[in-house]
Structure 1
Amino acid sequence: MTLSFFDQFMSPTMLGVPLMALALLLPWILFPTPSTRWLNNRLLTLQNSTIGQYTQQLLLPINQGGHKWATLLTSLMIFLITINMLGLLPYTFTPTTQLSMNMGLAVPLWLATVIIGMRNQPTHSLGHLLPEGTPPLLIPVLIIIETISLFIRPLALGVRLTANLTAGHLLMQLIATAAFVLLPLMPTVAILTSILLVLLTLLEIAVAMIQAYVFVLLLSLYLQENV
């Protein structure tokens, strides 16, 4: 029984085709396609307004040079929120519970911010490794610590997203299993457990949205340091 709890995090295949590819591509079908008309319908208007407000708030503290990343960061935000939310549905698979996928998103984007900083302003970027006014004896130690913290950033991005979603899915499955087991034995406790499961599901919806936002927000902060 314990091993079956982790079956939901295995990448499923059908006829030799990995279903993870479908889980990554199909959510885009759910979004309405922008039209070429002067006046859009209410759904398109709400979608465009929400995306515009989010992009404006995200890029507000970033310099003008970082605004080129607006499309990439906004698309990544919508992508992560969509697959996180769809992963809460029954008989679905959440790709963001795979550390390999999250690291595949975090490492290239983080590396791109570092390369941009080294190319445009190398002195300022290297200055982050050594705070001003550091005693001479602490200089080698601080450089090593700051370098390690710099390379840990993509690992923290990927592990944070993976751990939060994995822990939430496991907790939901444990509570659902407890409710089914307790139903014939203690119906009152089973009902209370089911209510707790509903509340936890609402919390997981919030976590799915917040973690996607935090992932993109941290990337924007890394970009701000190097632009």
Structure 2
Amino acid sequence: MNLTFFDQFASPYLLTIPLILVSMLFPTMLIPSLNNRWITNRLSTLQSWLLHLITKQLMIPLNKKGHKWALILTSLMMLLLTINLLGLLPYTFTPTTQLSMNMALAFPLWLATFLTGLRNQPSISLGHLLPEGTPTLLIPALIMIETTSLLIRPLALGVRLTANLTAGHLLIQLISTATIAMMPILPTVSLLTTLILLLLTILEIAVAMIQAYVFVLLLSLYLQENI
């Protein structure tokens, strides 16, 4: 029974071919592409409004030098948002529940922000490893602590996204299994758990959107420190 709860987090296969790439690319195909018409339809207008709102929110903590990252950050936000939301549908797979995928997104982007800081302002970037006015005896310990906190940033990004989505999906499956099991025995309790399941699903929709936003927002904050 315990194995079946975690089967939903296993990467899907078809004829021994992993479908993780399909599950990542399919959500992006649902986003309508812009056309050259003067008057667009309602879906394209809503998409343009959403992209403008997301880009505006992500660019608030950045100065003008960081605005060149707008396309990367907005595209990452839309990718995570669509994957997280579509993963809540029945008979679907959520790639962001895999730590390997989240680390593959977090580590290169964090490394790009760090290398950008080393190239543009090496003194300030390395100065973050040692606060000003540190006593001489504490310098080696603080350098090690600050270096560890710097290197653990991509791991924290990946683990945060994975843990939140995995916990939510697992809790939904546990409550739904209990609801189906109690339906012929205790219909009143089953109705109550159905209401709890509905509220939890609404909460998971909010978590899916918030975690995508937090992931990209933290990357933008890391970028702001290095530009």
Normalization by structure 1: what TM-score?
0.98
What percent of counterpart residues are identical? 68
**Helix, strand or coil for the counterpart of 1:199?**
helix
Tell me the distance in 2 between the aligned counterparts of 1:114 and 1:175. Answer: 43
Q: Does 1:38 align with 2:25?
A: no
Alignment of 1:60-209 (within 5 A): 60-209=60-209
Name stretches of at least 5 consecutive residues in structure 1 with no aligned partner: none
Tell me the distance in 2 between the aligned counterparts of 1:3 and 1:50. Answer: 39
Bigger CA drift: 26-35 or 159-168? 26-35
- The Cα of 1:142 is off from its aligned counterpart by 0.8
Alignment of 1:45-64 (within 5 A): 45-64=45-64
Tell me the distance in 2 between the aligned counterparts of 1:90 and 1:128. Answer: 46
Normalization by structure 2: what TM-score?
0.98
Bigger CA drift: 59-68 or 79-88? 59-68
- The Cα of 1:143 is off from its aligned counterpart by 0.7
| Corresponding letter in the other structure for 1:45 | T
Tell me the distance in 1 between the aligned counterparts of 2:60 and 2:183. Answer: 52
Tell me the distance in 2 between the aligned counterparts of 1:32 and 1:202. Answer: 25
Tell me the distance in 2 between the aligned counterparts of 1:185 and 1:61. Answer: 55
Tell me the distance in 2 between the aligned counterparts of 1:188 and 1:68. Answer: 56
**Helix, strand or coil for the counterpart of 1:36?**
coil
Aligned structure 1 segments of 4 or more residues deviating by more than 2 angstroms: none
| Corresponding letter in the other structure for 2:211 | Q
Cα deviation code 1:124-156 (max 9, x no counterpart): 001111111111111111111000000000000
Q: Does 1:26 align with 2:17?
A: no
- The Cα of 1:100 is off from its aligned counterpart by 0.3
Tell me the distance in 2 between the aligned counterparts of 1:3 and 1:13. Answer: 17
**Helix, strand or coil for the counterpart of 2:152?**
helix
- Matched length: 227
Residues 83, 96 of structure 2: 8 Å contact kept: yes
- The Cα of 1:21 is off from its aligned counterpart by 1.2
| Corresponding letter in the other structure for 2:171 | L
Tell me the distance in 1 between the aligned counterparts of 2:94 and 2:106. Answer: 17
Residues 61, 220 of structure 2: 8 Å contact kept: no
What's the counterpart of residue 216 of structure 1?
216
Tell me the distance in 2 between the aligned counterparts of 1:222 and 1:127. Answer: 15
Tell me the distance in 2 between the aligned counterparts of 1:69 and 1:78. Answer: 14
**Helix, strand or coil for the counterpart of 1:158?**
helix
Tell me the distance in 1 between the aligned counterparts of 2:177 and 2:53. Answer: 41
Name stretches of at least 5 consecutive residues in structure 2 with no aligned partner: none
Residues 97, 166 of structure 2: 8 Å contact kept: yes
- The Cα of 1:30 is off from its aligned counterpart by 1.3
The CA RMSD over aligned residues, in Å, is 0.8
